[in-house]
Structure 1
């Protein structure tokens, strides 16, 4: 009997390890280096083992994106739960998650998020998530000034991705404070 047949099968654990390794490859090496073989090697499984869980690189990428959206959802929900002011609550949570004030290092989902610009399936997943959140919070976050704040947060995120390393960093805390101030009713 082979070792594979003796080992306890834990498909959920293997699937999560594959997603974790794919995320780490994205952070360390970028989307261009996210290959089925690289993820399989990093996870210590065969390419066939990876393909058992994800039929293609596209399916792996979509699953990773869905996981990042669930993580973003949880982060935003936790931030909203701690915010006692209803007006602009979602927008403030979105700004906190987008600007990542006080956090260092590359955003684990940056390379994946950029993929929404060229990958129709990921773009649709983002649109669906964002539209659902806006619909859910339309009574508290539907004002045009709050939409402008969310657009500004997206602009900061894009600037982070596009700015050359030699450019002085933006004052995140100052931007964050100004954006949060704009979400308060006057």
Structure 2
């Protein structure tokens, strides 16, 4: 009978979910700090402390990594919106008010916001636009009874417009559309 030796302290146990999470977090940090253009396979691998091959085991391309970061961001947005919905006692327009709050929640972070960092990628990457459209279609179907009013649609589009203006103007957006504009949209949403 042969003896089984204990693992060497230099051998790591494979923990694919932890590695995947670290890669997503590192990619998000790079995008928030330096913009989506700085998000390269090598930069993320270096930041996460894995090999380029290790990263490619989880995400087979930069586009796949970017899509995963964006999907992760949408999951966080879902949680933020759901938390806001749970606290809102009025059903009519509840999703719209939560959406507005989410759109304004990290505006003061400016270019350090992950949403700001991924904004250009959303516009230029068809796969990300599809993810966004699918997410929005699903949420609108889920809240059709309470948020189909045209005024609520106009409020959501206004929040989107401010988000787009922030993306285009970077530093001037807060001057042109102050943070308290959130209250105006919330009042319009009831």
Residue of structure 2 equivalent to 1:182 = 188
- Structure 2 residues not aligned, in runs of 5+: 1-6
Relative to structure 1, the CA distance from residue 127 to residue 43 in structure 2 (aligned partners, 3 Å threshold; closer, same or farther) is same
2:39 alignment partner, one of 30, 34, 38: 34
Residues 1:126 and 2:128 are matched in the alignment: no
Residue 164 of structure 2 aligns to a residue whose secondary structure is helix
Relative to structure 1, the CA distance from residue 79 to residue 103 in structure 2 (aligned partners, 3 Å threshold; closer, same or farther) is farther
- Structure 1 residues not aligned, in runs of 5+: none
TM-score, scaled to structure 2? 0.89
Residue 86 of structure 1 aligns to a residue whose secondary structure is coil
Aligned-residue offset at 1:165: 2.6
Q: Is the 8 A contact 2:106 2:113 kept in 1?
A: no
Residue of structure 2 equivalent to 1:172 = 179
The one-character-per-residue Cα deviations of 1:44-90 (angstroms, maximum 9, x if unpaired) are 11100100111111111111111001000000000000000001000
Residue 114 of structure 2 aligns to a residue whose secondary structure is coil
Matching of residues 21-100 of structure 1 within 5 Å: 21-100=26-105
Aligned-residue offset at 1:108: 1.4
Aligned-residue offset at 1:104: 3.4
Aligned-residue offset at 1:161: 1.3
Residue of structure 2 equivalent to 1:162 = 168
Stretches (4+) displaced over 3 A: 2-5, 101-105
Relative to structure 1, the CA distance from residue 167 to residue 69 in structure 2 (aligned partners, 3 Å threshold; closer, same or farther) is closer
| Cα RMSD for the two superposed structures | 2.1
Q: How many residues align?
A: 183
The one-character-per-residue Cα deviations of 1:136-179 (angstroms, maximum 9, x if unpaired) are 10110000000000000001111111125367623212x11111
